[in-house]
Amino acid sequence: MNSTFWLAAASYLVLTFIFTRPRPIIPLGILSMVLQAIVVAYLYPLFYRGGNPLAEGATFGLLLGIFMGSNAVLAEAGKNQVGSLRTWIALEGVYYLLQFTLVGLVVGAVYGVLPSRAV
Protein backbone atom coordinates (compact mmCIF):
# COMPACT_ATOMS: atom_id res chain seq x y z
CA MET A 1 0.00 0.00 0.00
CA ASN A 2 1.72 3.12 -1.26
CA SER A 3 0.92 6.81 -0.96
CA THR A 4 -1.42 6.68 -3.99
CA PHE A 5 -3.51 4.02 -2.23
CA TRP A 6 -3.84 6.16 0.90
CA LEU A 7 -4.62 9.30 -1.14
CA ALA A 8 -7.39 7.39 -2.96
CA ALA A 9 -8.75 6.16 0.40
CA ALA A 10 -8.61 9.69 1.86
CA SER A 11 -10.44 11.03 -1.20
CA TYR A 12 -13.25 8.59 -0.51
CA LEU A 13 -13.46 9.73 3.11
CA VAL A 14 -13.65 13.42 2.19
CA LEU A 15 -16.34 12.87 -0.43
CA THR A 16 -18.35 10.62 1.88
CA PHE A 17 -18.35 13.28 4.62
CA ILE A 18 -20.06 15.61 2.16
CA PHE A 19 -22.95 13.13 1.85
CA THR A 20 -23.90 12.68 5.49
CA ARG A 21 -26.77 13.59 7.80
CA PRO A 22 -26.60 16.81 9.84
CA ARG A 23 -25.99 15.00 13.16
CA PRO A 24 -24.08 11.83 12.29
CA ILE A 25 -23.25 9.08 14.79
CA ILE A 26 -19.55 9.69 14.50
CA PRO A 27 -17.98 6.36 15.60
CA LEU A 28 -20.22 4.22 13.39
CA GLY A 29 -19.90 6.56 10.45
CA ILE A 30 -16.12 6.77 10.71
CA LEU A 31 -15.72 2.99 10.96
CA SER A 32 -18.01 2.43 7.99
CA MET A 33 -16.29 5.05 5.85
CA VAL A 34 -12.78 3.85 6.71
CA LEU A 35 -13.65 0.27 5.77
CA GLN A 36 -15.32 1.40 2.55
CA ALA A 37 -12.41 3.73 1.69
CA ILE A 38 -9.88 0.91 2.06
CA VAL A 39 -11.98 -1.42 -0.09
CA VAL A 40 -12.52 1.23 -2.80
CA ALA A 41 -8.82 2.14 -2.90
CA TYR A 42 -7.89 -1.56 -3.06
CA LEU A 43 -10.43 -2.54 -5.73
CA TYR A 44 -9.90 0.27 -8.23
CA PRO A 45 -6.49 -0.92 -9.50
CA LEU A 46 -7.97 -4.41 -9.92
CA PHE A 47 -10.85 -2.95 -11.95
CA TYR A 48 -8.76 -0.64 -14.15
CA ARG A 49 -8.35 -2.02 -17.68
CA GLY A 50 -6.51 0.87 -19.32
CA GLY A 51 -7.74 4.05 -20.89
CA ASN A 52 -8.84 7.38 -19.51
CA PRO A 53 -8.61 7.29 -15.69
CA LEU A 54 -11.62 9.59 -15.29
CA ALA A 55 -13.83 7.43 -17.52
CA GLU A 56 -12.56 4.26 -15.84
CA GLY A 57 -13.09 5.83 -12.41
CA ALA A 58 -16.61 7.01 -13.25
CA THR A 59 -17.55 3.54 -14.50
CA PHE A 60 -16.04 1.94 -11.40
CA GLY A 61 -17.88 4.39 -9.14
CA LEU A 62 -21.18 3.88 -10.96
CA LEU A 63 -20.89 0.12 -10.50
CA LEU A 64 -20.15 0.61 -6.81
CA GLY A 65 -23.12 2.95 -6.52
CA ILE A 66 -25.41 0.36 -8.07
CA PHE A 67 -23.99 -2.33 -5.77
CA MET A 68 -24.17 -0.28 -2.58
CA GLY A 69 -27.46 1.35 -3.55
CA SER A 70 -29.16 -1.97 -4.22
CA ASN A 71 -28.72 -2.76 -0.55
CA ALA A 72 -29.16 0.68 0.97
CA VAL A 73 -32.06 1.73 -1.23
CA LEU A 74 -33.96 -1.32 -2.42
CA ALA A 75 -33.32 -3.74 0.44
CA GLU A 76 -33.96 -1.09 3.08
CA ALA A 77 -37.23 -0.13 1.41
CA GLY A 78 -38.16 -3.79 1.35
CA LYS A 79 -37.39 -4.26 5.06
CA ASN A 80 -38.49 -0.94 6.56
CA GLN A 81 -41.50 1.31 6.26
CA VAL A 82 -40.61 4.35 4.16
CA GLY A 83 -42.92 7.27 3.41
CA SER A 84 -43.31 7.24 -0.35
CA LEU A 85 -41.64 4.23 -1.92
CA ARG A 86 -41.30 5.99 -5.27
CA THR A 87 -39.73 9.09 -3.67
CA TRP A 88 -37.42 6.99 -1.48
CA ILE A 89 -36.09 5.00 -4.42
CA ALA A 90 -35.67 8.09 -6.61
CA LEU A 91 -33.91 10.28 -4.03
CA GLU A 92 -31.78 7.61 -2.39
CA GLY A 93 -30.96 6.02 -5.74
CA VAL A 94 -29.71 9.32 -7.17
CA TYR A 95 -27.76 9.94 -3.95
CA TYR A 96 -25.82 6.66 -4.23
CA LEU A 97 -25.22 6.96 -7.96
CA LEU A 98 -23.99 10.54 -7.60
CA GLN A 99 -21.84 9.90 -4.54
CA PHE A 100 -20.10 6.85 -5.94
CA THR A 101 -19.66 8.26 -9.44
CA LEU A 102 -17.89 11.26 -7.86
CA VAL A 103 -15.83 8.92 -5.69
CA GLY A 104 -14.88 6.91 -8.79
CA LEU A 105 -13.87 10.05 -10.69
CA VAL A 106 -11.64 11.21 -7.84
CA VAL A 107 -10.10 7.79 -7.21
CA GLY A 108 -9.46 7.44 -10.96
CA ALA A 109 -7.78 10.85 -10.96
CA VAL A 110 -5.68 9.93 -7.90
CA TYR A 111 -4.42 6.71 -9.46
CA GLY A 112 -4.08 8.17 -12.97
CA VAL A 113 -3.01 5.90 -15.80
CA LEU A 114 -2.11 2.47 -14.51
CA PRO A 115 -0.61 -0.44 -16.41
CA SER A 116 -3.34 -2.24 -18.37
CA ARG A 117 -4.55 -5.58 -17.09
CA ALA A 118 -5.35 -8.37 -19.52
CA VAL A 119 -9.03 -9.30 -19.50
What digits encode the pLDDT tens for the residues 51-93? 999 999 999 999 999 999 998 899 888 888 888 999 999 999 9
Question: Alpha helix locations (H) across the chain?
Answer: 3-18, 26-47, 53-69, 76-79, 85-111
Cα separation, 14 vs 7, whole angstroms: 10
- For residue 116, pLDDT over 80 is answered with no
* Average pLDDT rounded to a whole number, residues 98-104: 95
pLDDT value at position 29? 80
Domain boundaries, the chain: 3-111
Between the two ends of the chain, the Cα-to-Cα distance in Å is 23
What digits encode the pLDDT tens for the residues 5-56? 999 999 988 887 777 677 878 888 889 889 999 999 999 999 998 899 999 9
Nearest to 73 by CA among 100, 93, 95: 93
